[in-house]
Structure formats: C-alpha cells, structure tokens
Amino acid sequence: MTRAELIQQIYSKKSFLCVGLDTDPNKIPSFLLEFEDPIFEFNKQIIDATSAYAVAYKPNIAFYESLGSKGWDALEKTIAYIPKDIFTIADAKRGDIGNTSSMYAKAFFEHYDFDSITINPYMGEDSVVPFLAFKDKWAILLALTSNMGSRDFQYHKDKEEYLYEKVVKKSFDWGNEENIMFVTGATHASELASIRNLAPKSFFLVPGVGAQGGDMHEVMKYAANDEIGVLINSARAIIYASKGEDFADAAAKEAKKMRDEMARYF
C-alpha cells in the first residue's frame, strides 16, 4: 500500500485506528474452541465487526508462531481475509544481517503479502535496507517503545542526542516517509515532539493507548502532523472487550468509540 492510499483510507473513515490481533487461545471465548480453526474464526469475526472503523490490522506474530504450523495457517488465512484497502502490519520485530533480513522480507512481503513489518534496527543498515527493496512495502522501525525497559538503552545520551533520536535520523540515509515508519510508544507522549521534529512527514505507529495507560489526546498533541501521521494501535481493549458470545459486538462498540474520538481531529 502506498502512502497516498493509506492517507486516503484515514480521511475516508476519519480514523487512524489500528486493531492489534494479539490472539491468544487462552483468552478467546471458549465456544470458539469447537471450531476447526478457533484463532482464525476469532480473527474473522473481529475483522467483520471492526473493519468499518479500522484503517490497519496488526497481528502480533509471536501469538501465531507459538502455536506451530496451526498458528501460521491461521495467520495466513487471517491476512487473506482482511480487506485489501486496509493496511496490514506484521508485528514481528525482525532484525538480522542482510541475507537473513532478505528472507524475512520475502516471507512477510511475498508469501504472506503484508504491507509492512516492524523492524528492530539496532544491528544497523543490514537489518533494515533489505526490507526497503520491495515496492509499496514498509519497514516500521522501533524508535521509542512503550515498555518499561525502553529506558535501558533507548535513552542513552551522546552529545545531547538520545539513541532513539539517532535511530530516527540515521534511518533517512536508507529510506524516507514513503517506506519507513516509526514505533513511538504512547507512554512517552511528551518525547514524541522531538521525534516529530526529526521526522515531520513520517507515520508513527503508536502502541500503548488503552490497556497500557497511554492517552490518545496527549499522543495527538505531540505526534500529529498535517496529514494526521499517526496509527494508534489498540489490541486488548478491543478484541477482548467481552469473553462471551457477544465478543464481536463488544469489539465493534469499542472500536467505534475510539473512531468517534479520533474523528474530532479531522
């Protein structure tokens, strides 16, 4: 998907909602376990319920690969089921040297046909550039993450520059706002301003709103640009809004609530 197509989708729906498909067989409604593929059935119903409000879906790959071949099958069916005009993110956090990165890129961009993949850039150019060789595909680089351990390394300062700022600046030697995005956690809202200054036109993928305590309005205060420029991810608050047979309806209500809150920014 191109940048223009993504922006068109955002303005058409007045939404910048990304639904995280962190599907755990231990958390889905128990009646779904009777289906041949419970994970796909859960995802299918969530997608049907939320696709009017979401501009992106983000399966967390760990939840699928932990189930072995059945998990990978469910992932493949899920990606095929998502409407083609909705942006897809493989939350895989891959990061390795050139040949290995090329194979990861081929797997997620060619075999599974994701639009984008999250990348750990801390091995440098080798771990990013192979993903940029694919037309209309995106690398989403970890810049400033929402977890507590982000302060262990990302806030290391050298010559008045934090490591996360150096990652953002260096990435523009490899790509641009047409093929690179940044993961910027909602729990560090005030720091988003410095990243926006370094990357004025880039999209930010922002986890941490909702269950992790991040605030949408704080995020938009510091991170939004003239084209919105933000995808806010919500997983648990939407997909596990109910554990009963009404789980899809509950997910739809939560997604609509978030979309309605987002509409005020248009």
Helical H segments across 14-59, by residue range: 38-50
pLDDT for position 144: 83
pLDDT digits (tens, 9 = 90+) for 10-44: 999 999 999 999 999 999 999 999 999 999 999 99
User: Distance between CA atoms of 81 and 77, rounded to whole angstroms?
Assistant: 6
* CA dihedral sign, ordered 113, 121, 61, 97: positive
Q: Please state the rounded mean pLDDT for residues 37-62.
A: 98
106 noted as active-site residue: no
Give the active site residue among 14, 70, 77, 93: 93
Q: How many domains does the chain have?
A: 1
User: By percentage, how much of the chain surpasses pLDDT 70?
Assistant: 95
Q: Which two tokens stand for residue 62?
A: 């760990």
Q: Please state the rounded mean pLDDT for residues 212-226.
A: 86
Q: Which domain, by its residues, includes 104? A: 3-265
pLDDT digits (tens, 9 = 90+) for 177-214: 999 999 998 777 778 999 999 999 999 999 877 655 67
User: Distance between CA atoms of 128 and 119, rounded to whole angstroms?
Assistant: 7
- What is the pLDDT of the chain when averaged over all its residues? 93
User: Distance between CA atoms of 163 and 153, rounded to whole angstroms?
Assistant: 7
Q: Which two tokens stand for residue 185?
A: 């956690």
Provide the residue type at 227 as one letter: E
CATH number of residue 231's parent domain: 3.20.20.70
pLDDT digits (tens, 9 = 90+) for 249-261: 999 999 999 999 9
The 10 Å CB-count burial string (b at 16+, else e) for 40-52 is bbbbbbbbebbbe
